[in-house]
Amino acid sequence: MNADMKKVPKIPSIRRLANYLHLLKKMREDSKEHVSTTLLAKETHLEPIVVRKDLEITGISGQPGVGYRVDHLIAAIEKFIGWNNTSEAFIVGAGSLGRALLGYKGFESHGLKVLAAFDCDPSKTDTEIHGVPVFEMEKLPNLAARLNIRMAILCVPEKSAQSCADMLVSAGIKGIWNFSPVNLKVPAGVVVQNEDLASSLAVLSFKLSKNIQRAAEEAAANGVL
Amino acid sequence: MNADMKKVPKIPSIRRLANYLHLLKKMREDSKEHVSTTLLAKETHLEPIVVRKDLEITGISGQPGVGYRVDHLIAAIEKFIGWNNTSEAFIVGAGSLGRALLGYKGFESHGLKVLAAFDCDPSKTDTEIHGVPVFEMEKLPNLAARLNIRMAILCVPEKSAQSCADMLVSAGIKGIWNFSPVNLKVPAGVVVQNEDLASSLAVLSFKLSKNIQRAAEEAAANGVL
């Protein structure tokens, strides 16, 4: 622990920075040169003070009355997140979700390039999906080492998720984007980002059922029902 | 505002409850009758006090020394989240992500049944994907009303996301699971749950780049480099 620990940003800030980045890139396409926190706040439905504090952690400072230069702000956020160099990744598991992610156009604009996919099902290997080659799983460690790959996207069924993660860690992978509904055990120094669709669905279901319940109660209180 | 507002649970609690539910269902399959917070904490790598507080908000209480009955705990969590009745939903957009979600086996075990998909591309309509019929977009309002559908999963490209959301709201949809990278504007009473893959990727990239940087600094400090 040292004094720098205080500067570690909160995860929601990083998620919001990714959102600002997305908007800023659209502004750059529209040849906009400057942007204010007020405008970013309006577009993202956030309070201006939240936007200002998020941007501050990247180290950039705006000009009073002018705001930020769009291209400077894009560069600052990309550098902060670690997106100024394209990251290369493997996809592990070429089932329906893996295939969908291979076809997802959004990754490259966020600095992620998927170089290859791997699957243990021989009927899926030695093919290409959306231009990306699919290899048998056994080839992963050698290719990861040769290409110096640090990131993998895990889309395998639950029962093989932990063994695949172990194999990825042995192969030198340092970041796992986990789409399998499993709490992976990994050693210190390896980062796991869980993309848990079931838990998102839980949040939506919960809010929806509370909303419908509230509407019914209000209707009852107003004598509508 | 009333006293009940204090009881509103935090989103991370609901996400964790979805995780416990997943584990509990596996335990039930393995014919386990009782479970302790300690065991749930161990399986999820959380502190027991976190698990205990999460379970408390569902209103269930365990027995000292015995813990919870697995079936009671499943019922309590499902009721709390609003999963005790299966929700029915439409998928809007039958592109690569929409198709993947149609093939995703995990939803039904979480009380979500996708009844139909909709797309504005005529080459995709009047077909079936993974047994789910795909209709032209114009048919959505009528079908939503007839089947009393409240939830929609939005997987359309960015440029049509807001107009699709407007159409869903007019059709009486109350919950939108949004996979498009757009900040949707919806009226009060409609819930949007954003599933933003780009922002998750930002979090992973950030942690990974910080980890790699730290490892390099430690190696330098130890005279390895």
Share of chain B above pLDDT 90, in %: 46
pLDDT exceeds 80 at position A88: yes
Task: Tell me what ipTM this predicted complex has.
Answer: 0.75
Mean pLDDT of A117-121: 94
Q: At A219, which amino acid appears? A: A
The partner residue sitting opposite A206, judged by closest CB among B81, B100, B106, is B81
Chain A residues close to B203, C-beta within 8 Å: 11, 14-15, 193
DSSP string, B133-190: EEEEGGGHHHHHHHHT--EEEE---HHHHHHHHHHHHHTT--EEEE-SSS-----TT-
- At residue A2, the pLDDT reads 42
Q: Where does chain B hold its CATH 1.10.10.10 domain(s)? A: 3-81
Q: What is the pLDDT of residues B6-44, one digit of tens each?
A: 456 677 888 889 889 988 988 999 999 999 999 999 888
The three-class DSSP label of residue B44 is helix
Cα–Cα distance for residue pair B64/B89, rounded to 1 Å: 40
**Do B177 and A191 count as a contact with CB atoms less than 8 A apart?**
no
Report how far residue B197's alpha carbon sits from residue A16's, in angstroms, rounded to the nearest whole number: 12
* Whole-number pLDDT of residue B95: 83
Looking at residue A85, what is its pLDDT?
61
Place of tokens 């539910």: B21
Cβ–Cβ below 8 Å for A206 and B100: no
pLDDT bracket for residue A43 (50, 70, 90): confident
Residue with the two structure tokens 């021989």: A122
Measure in Å the smallest separation between the Cα of B62 and chain A Cα atoms.
23
Phi and psi at residue A8, to the nearest 5°: -60, 120
Residue A200's Cβ-side half-sphere holds a number of Cα atoms within 13 Å equal to: 21
Tell me the per-residue pLDDT of B85-119, one tens digit each, with 9 for 90 and over.
668 899 999 987 788 788 776 677 677 889 999 99
pLDDT of residue B137: 95
Query: In the predicted model, what is the mean pLDDT of residues A31-40?
Result: 94
Say if the Cβ atoms of A208 and B11 lie within 8 Å.
no
Location of each CATH 3.40.50.720 domain in chain B: 87-194
Q: Is the pTM of this model over 0.90?
A: no
pLDDT-based confidence at A84, cuts 50/70/90? low
Contact A17 B111 (CB under 8 A): no
Out of 3.40.640.10, 3.40.50.2300, 3.10.150.10, 3.40.50.720, the CATH code matching B87-194 is 3.40.50.720
Highest mean pLDDT among A45-49, A151-155, B154-158, B196-200: A151-155
**CATH 1.10.10.10 for the A3-81 domain, yes or no:** yes
pLDDT digits (tens, 9 = 90+) for A165-201: 999 999 999 999 998 878 899 998 899 988 877 778 8
CA-to-CA distance for A215 and B58, rounded, in angstroms? Answer: 21
